[in-house]
Structure 1
Amino acid sequence: MDTTPELSREGLRERLTHSLEAAIRELTALSDAQRTCPLKPSRANPDIVWTPCDHFAHLIGTKRYFQREIEKALTENPEARPQPYANALNRPSEDTMAAVHAFNDQWILKHRDKSFAELVVMARETRAHTLDLLDRTSDDQLACSMPVPWGLATIGEVFDLQTRHMAMHLGFIREGLAAKA
């Protein structure tokens, strides 16, 4: 197993908790008008323009997606041992990403009527489930590979991806708001 601090259970737990709470603090500091300000056109449909709340809802949706995928991987092979993943794609295909972007739009449109406070509740509930899933995942399982849209990643990498994904979308929000100022 990769025992580097980046993918240790404690490191993952700390980063998952910190990244969400930092995002909530940053988004809470915005006015309601800023949180609902159109910023970034969708990659699937440029007529759909994402707001900061849409980005936040998207992050909740992707966490839930990866929860299901991790649970599926663990259910299919509960005694999984680390496996090398030679020949795995390291970049998603255009078709795969087009489908991902279309799914993202469906998710944000479904949740656009939710208030920021409701999204915060959803995000914290989702994070609690993620941390529970992390606690139920053995150290060996964290090092096991699983399919992801871009090829294969270890389960630990998928948990870690959630923190990097959060940072990326907060960057999109900051850039979009700065451009509107």
Structure 2
Amino acid sequence: MEGVHRQPGLASSSILFNFRPWAVTFSARLSIFSSSTSANHQERTTFSADFAARITITSLNQLLPRATKSLPSAKLLLLRLVWGVNRGYQTERRVLAPRPSNRKGREGERVKVIRSVVREVAGFAPYERRAMELIRNSKDKRARKFIKRRVGTLRRAKNKMETLTNVIAEQRRAGH
């Protein structure tokens, strides 16, 4: 196993792991299924791994910088982890103002009013009137195919179908 070696003086169940990903060195003694504490070391159990092993830190002075010694050891380890779900230095997300480019293509109030006036004055095209009759007679699939031939693509046809269906619903509500 690369990165794993036995340290003299440790029990046979203890292995010293050295993880050196991306210039961050993390050394911890892995004691598998044992919770023994030695008299000459003040060992601290920090967290349990998925495979029921406990990582114990023997000398915090060697592993962590001086500025972070006042924090609890579990929090220090989480700050120093470079793998797993909570890897890296934990930061807060910045709340950003909405960008003008995100509203591109959205219909503004002015354009909405102009289009409604044009629709009211000019009315519907002959193919739209025929499609509305097909929709009123519950021939939605036939209407969609008919509109698709007129406007070119299925996506445009679906949008036109939705628009015409909404117009028919408004007419029914108005009592026409």
Tell me the TM-score range normalised by the shorter chain.
under 0.3
| TM-score w.r.t. length of structure 2 | 0.23
Higher helix share: 1
Q: Between Structure 1 and Structure 2, whose CA radius of gyration is higher? A: 2
State the TM-score, normalized to the length of structure 1. 0.22
**Greater share of residues in strand:** 2
Q: Which has the higher contact order (CA 8 A, sep 6+)?
A: 1
